[in-house]
Structure 1
Amino acid sequence: MDNLLSNDKFHQTVPKQFILPPKMREPGQVNCTMSLPVIDLRGGSHFHVEDRDQIIEEILHAGKEFGFFQVINHGVSEQLMRDMIRLTEEFFNMSKEDKAAYYSEDTSKTSCLFSSSFLAKKDGPRYWRDCLRLAYYPGPATINDWPDKPAKLREVFAKFIVEAREVSMTLLSLISEGLGLKEGYFEGDLSSGQVIINANYYPPCPAPDLTLGLHPHCDIYLITLLLQGAVSGLEVMHQGKWVRVDPIQNALVINFGHQLEIITNGVMKSVEHRAVTNSGAARTSVAMFIAPDKESFISPAKEIVNEENPPLYKSFVFKDFSRIYIELSAKRVDVMEAFKING
């Protein structure tokens, strides 16, 4: 509990446990002239035919080139998104005593409050982030495990998950259509695992060059939807340089996880990204992950592979991938190499 950064609103120094080794905090080259594609979803899941074709083309281009894009006019209400950020900020601004009941460093728990990252080594450096991680299954059972403070948190977060999941499934449906997969390909086991919410808080850092909010990594799941607050901090790797993702009002950031890259046999990219810190303002964000069922069988889609385009990756059960992903600390090169078909 003492590791929670949000317990102290004004950090004068970076505690030694948050100071990363020089190799881990090298800033790398930043491309200041490039920005992610912005795709207009025209209000939701029902499009005119000509709009649908254009949107599919834009999504496929963004997925192949960047693995990331932002969407506007996506159907999630503006008020709901504002409430999500506000309630996240209110939660982390609660007293240490009010937050204590939710804190845990037990990585087997899917709903808890923690500092740094579950992927950080216990004896290694920590990352400049607090996170409220919530798991959701439809119905009240899991919601009752969520914090009951601030008021309305459970209600608002549950509503956001429903609306944001619809956006995610619409995008997966469009990708499926664009790649020639059968209708509903990503429904069922491939997307029926727990929906995970990470509500993140990155306080102002007195020495941003000494640490990171999150290390470079790719997401383990199928697709990620990120609600950014007003403060930037997300950076995406593109052609050997980091691209800063500036927040766009009422936009959602979309990126693809390892499972989508493997299912599409490398067509849609799962790309490394990180969170950097700043000394001027706290940053708040909310990430939602669509995951396969843990017993789901994952393999490159049969409709995509053939003699000219053989499978690049092995088949596996998702829970086995999860174990190896954690063992390899989410390092993209190592994780993908473990599942690549050699030769």
Structure 2
Amino acid sequence: MCDHYMEIKEEKDSRWFNVEYVPQDYIFSQEDRPQNLDVPVCDSFPVIDLAKPIRPIEAILKASQEFGFFQVINHGVPEKTMIDAMNVLKEFFNMPSKEAIGYVPHAKGWIYTNNDHTKDGVYLWRENLKHLCHPLEECIQLWPDKPARYQDIIAAYLLEIQKLSLRILEMIGEGLGLEPGYFNDISEVQLLSSNFYPPCPDPSLTLGILAHQDPSFITLVYQGDSTGLQILKDGRWINVGAISDAFIVNIGNQMEVISNGKLRSIDHRVVTSTHETRSSIATFVNPSFDCVIEPAKVLVNESEPSHYKAIQYKEYVHHNNAFGDYTVALQNVIKLES
């Protein structure tokens, strides 16, 4: 028992982020480095209470137009379900590295990495776990089997995310003037991406995630009490605060297209901290792969023509490298397994 404990402790102590200085491979170019780490949390960031008697459709639309982001509270997802999901993911990331080695997509339906890098070859200051979630009953068996309770807990979490995401999509659709149930048959809680951002010796040199936009309809993020998310608002990066029982919701590229530009998909990134560890669970609510994405017909007329070309979603992810090769490969895994 003692020898086993010492083996795990030594392995954890030697993990890649336990360093005094940021390794050269993790240092971003001057233009990509965060410049305003000390900026206060944005006090005007939209927080929307879903339990109000009148559904907050107007607030959601306003936030989606002005920020491209909002937080929802009193959303109906049980607190225990959220905490269990975060805890089991922390267990996964805290396992000795030999236990958390991922498999390539054609061999197993999930990917773990602690050395993913940008197109410029700079490594991100994070560990990441990705796997597909739809169809849920077929994906579960392809997820990690350690920790032992991972599959059951994450499946329960995703069932709640599915209900909440459809509720939010329905409100967005109603606000845009779309017919009821517009998103029901074309949206999927398709991908889970969990992140572990350990403390960094010098957060001014590196990033947890580089600035990007999401290829989704909407993305729901649970981050608990940890901060680090920044969004680009009016040309300036602003810090998003943490509300322990809230979900952060952001508008993805496909929703911007559906809305014909009325709603905004904006750049966001994750900065690191010298002392705080940030963990997050991002779930991407995407179109089905065969879905053709174009502005909703009710939003297009002579005075407001279409601002986007129609494109099949699987073509979009392929051409934009939005998890493209990864998602296609994992879809093939599911077809082979089912």
TM-score between both structures, scaled by the size of structure 2:
0.86
Query: What letter corresponds to residue 154 of structure 1 in structure 2?
Result: Q
Taking a change above 3 Å as real, the CA distance of residues 318 and 145 of structure 1, as seen in their structure-2 partners, is: same
Matched positions, count: 312
For the pair 1:39 / 2:39, whether they are aligned, the reply is no
User: Matches of residues 96-115 of structure 1 in structure 2 within 5 Å?
Assistant: 96-100=97-101, 102-104=102-104, 111-115=110-114
Match of 1:12 in 2: 20
Match of 2:293 in 1: 298
* In structure 2, distance between residues paired with 1:107 and 1:19: 32
* In structure 2, distance between residues paired with 1:231 and 1:14: 22
Q: Report if the CA contact (8 A) 1:103-1:114 is conserved.
A: no
Shift of 1:258: 0.1
For the pair 1:224 / 2:233, whether they are aligned, the reply is no
Shift of 1:229: 2.7
User: Matches of residues 99-248 of structure 1 in structure 2 within 5 Å?
Assistant: 99-100=100-101, 102-104=102-104, 111-115=110-114, 117=116, 120-121=118-119, 124-189=121-186, 191-192=187-188, 195-248=190-243
* In structure 2, distance between residues paired with 1:116 and 1:308: 49
Q: Deviations over 1:125-166 (max 9, x none)?
A: 111111111211235431111111113111111111110121
User: Matches of residues 242-281 of structure 1 in structure 2 within 5 Å?
Assistant: 242-281=237-276
Shift of 1:88: 1.2
Q: Report if the CA contact (8 A) 2:194-2:280 is conserved.
A: yes
Match of 2:6 in 1: none
Match of 1:340 in 2: none
Match of 1:90 in 2: 91
User: Matches of residues 60-99 of structure 1 in structure 2 within 5 Å?
Assistant: 60-99=61-100
Query: Of 300, 305, 310, which residue of structure 2 is paired with 1:315?
Result: 310
Secondary structure, in 3 states, of the residue corresponding to 1:290? strand
Query: What letter corresponds to residue 112 of structure 1 in structure 2?
Result: I
Q: Deviations over 1:15-38 (max 9, x none)?
A: 221111112114259565543111
Q: Deviations over 1:46-78 (max 9, x none)?
A: x75xx12xx011111111111100000001111
Question: How many percent of aligned residue pairs carry the same amino acid?
Answer: 39
Q: Report if the CA contact (8 A) 2:197-2:279 is conserved.
A: yes
Shift of 1:80: 1.1
Query: What letter corresponds to residue 76 of structure 1 in structure 2?
Result: V
Q: Deviations over 1:233-290 (max 9, x none)?
A: 0001111111211110201100010000011001111011000001102110100001
* In structure 2, distance between residues paired with 1:11 and 1:134: 29
Match of 1:334 in 2: none
Taking a change above 3 Å as real, the CA distance of residues 26 and 234 of structure 1, as seen in their structure-2 partners, is: closer
* In structure 1, distance between residues paired with 2:86 and 2:227: 14
Shift of 1:324: 2.4
Secondary structure, in 3 states, of the residue corresponding to 1:188? coil
Q: Report if the CA contact (8 A) 2:215-2:322 is conserved.
A: no
Q: Report if the CA contact (8 A) 1:62-1:68 is conserved.
A: yes
Shift of 1:186: 1.0
Secondary structure, in 3 states, of the residue corresponding to 2:321? helix
Query: What letter corresponds to residue 18 of structure 2 in structure 1?
Result: F
Q: Report if the CA contact (8 A) 2:224-2:246 is conserved.
A: no
Taking a change above 3 Å as real, the CA distance of residues 178 and 109 of structure 1, as seen in their structure-2 partners, is: farther
* In structure 2, distance between residues paired with 1:318 and 1:226: 22
Secondary structure, in 3 states, of the residue corresponding to 2:298? coil
Shift of 1:108: 11
Q: Report if the CA contact (8 A) 2:34-2:205 is conserved.
A: no
* In structure 2, distance between residues paired with 1:110 and 1:63: 33
* In structure 2, distance between residues paired with 1:91 and 1:328: 22
Q: Report if the CA contact (8 A) 1:34-1:243 is conserved.
A: no
* Aligned-residue RMSD, C-alpha: 2.5
Q: Report if the CA contact (8 A) 1:18-1:128 is conserved.
A: yes
Match of 1:23 in 2: 31
Taking a change above 3 Å as real, the CA distance of residues 26 and 124 of structure 1, as seen in their structure-2 partners, is: same
